A and B are shown apart, each in its own frame.
Chain A
Amino acid sequence: MNHLDDDAELYALGLTDRERDAEIEAHLAECDACRARVVAAESAAAALAATLPPMPGAAPRRAWWTTAATAAALVFAATTAFESTTAHTASERLTRTDTALGAIASSHFGHTTLTSDPGVVAKALYSRDGSWVYVVANNAPPGAHVVLRSGASSRDLGALDAGAPATLFVRAPGRAAEIDVVAGDRVVAHGVPAY
């Protein structure tokens, strides 16, 4: 394949189209010169990015439903639920949380934003091997359940908790074709995981 030329800089700015990106990335894997050129361009693009204003209202807003750390905290809670309640030191806790985060980061999880009723914001994180699923929802009706469906069969995983956001973490749910959040008979959020 030919060298990237100006596409190196356009790629660094996100301005090449997706079909072209696949070619570019294949080329970068084997061409030191073009990789160096993209790295330089990304460095300049990062300098431009530093001149942007912060996202409005972003500072105090922890992105609860978009962080793997949130899921890690859940795994941490789930895995330590039956352990002794003896206080752990802060560093022990940190190590454990890191380990849980590692389990998630290395277990090839996917995520999908569920299509939902207006006002409801819901998201599912799930391991690709079906060993856990974690659903988070903002403004879901109280008592809404998470239901997994595959073909004609469905499995009710239980109710979201009463938190804001409402969450539900379930181990070994298997790999369902669809994830729904259901209130009464109504599906208020729906998503299709991609394993």
Chain B
Amino acid sequence: MARPHASAELTLVEARPMALDEPAFDLAYRAYAPRLRAVAYDVVRDRDAAEDVVHGALVRVWSGGSYRPERGALLPFLIACVRREAFDTLRAAKRRHLREVRAADDPVVPDETAAIDPVETRRVRRALDALPESQRDVIMRAYYGHRTLVEVAQDTNTPLGTVKSRLAGALRRLHTTLSGEFSS
């Protein structure tokens, strides 16, 4: 199975990935909006901007026909689209000086009591703990600490290329761990 991380509650839309038409838009919105908002808000830290990011990404996906069922489950694709859109918004905000550029947070260990999906969070925490320290560190700084890759490179006195390959390696290993756990 190509979609080990999809939650049961989302099968309504997952089950009909071909139907990227009318009702699917609304179904997708209802099913996914909380998660997509969480992703957008994590990047832009502004509720209205986050709503805009989610809407903008969904409209882009629906009107652009960029999703193909062979790409796999819809939600991970949408999450990636929302993150890209959110980073675009953040960059635009920085350029226009419309908003205070938000300070990087301290990396926080994902908290399953506060997470949008507590069960998945427990699995992800175990998978994070199993990463080599250098890979775990870059995930904590870049994903949970909201540092840019350039900042991570500066903070850790590591070449940017190394930071990128560690982060990519961390994501690959997370996928392997999480899929293996699922199928066993």
Using CB atoms and an 8 Å cutoff, list the residues of chain A in contact with chain B.
5-15, 18, 21, 25, 35, 38-59, 61, 63, 66-69, 72, 98-99, 101-106, 108-111, 113, 121
Contacts and interface: CB of A to CB of B under 8 A. Distances in A.
A46 B76 contact: yes
Contacts of B77: 42
A51 B117 contact: yes
A68 B143 contact: no
B172 A35 contact: no
Contacts, number: 202
Interface in B93-126: 110-112, 114-117, 120-121, 123-125
B3 interface: yes
B15 interface: no
B38 A55 contact: yes
Contact of B111 (A12, A40, A53, A59): A53
Contacts of A63: 33, 51, 54-55
B38 A106 contact: no
B70 interface: yes
6 contacts: A9-B169, A40-B172, A43-B72, A47-B5, A48-B139, A55-B38
Contacts of A44: 5, 171-172, 174-175, 178
Given A51-B124, A105-B25, A43 B111 contact: no
What bracket does the count of chain B residues touching chain A fall in? 35 or more
Contact of B66 (A15, A25, A58): A25
B52 A47 contact: no
Contacts of A68: 25-26, 29, 58-59
Contact of A111 (B4, B26, B59, B84): B59
Nearest to A102: B22
B57 to A, nearest CB: 10
Contacts of B6: 46
B55 A67 contact: yes
Contacts of A53: 38, 111, 114-116
Given A15-B149, A51-B124, A6 B165 contact: yes
A52 B42 contact: yes
Given A57-B47, A102-B22, 6 more contacts: A46-B5, A52-B42, A53-B38, A54-B38, A55-B34, A111-B59
Contacts of B21: 102, 105-106
A151 B39 CA distance: 40
Interface string B23-65: 1111001000111011111110001101110111011001100
Interface string B1-29: 01111110000000000000111111001
B75 A69 contact: no
B171 A45 contact: yes
B47 A14 contact: no
B29 A9 contact: no
Given A41-B172, A47-B123, A51-B121, A10 B167 contact: yes
A40 B5 CA distance: 10
B161 to A, nearest CB: 9
A15 B84 CA distance: 7
B71 A45 contact: no
B82 to A, nearest CB: 8
Nearest to B71: A39
A11 B79 CA distance: 12
Contact of B52 (A9, A49, A113): A113
A45 B77 CA distance: 10
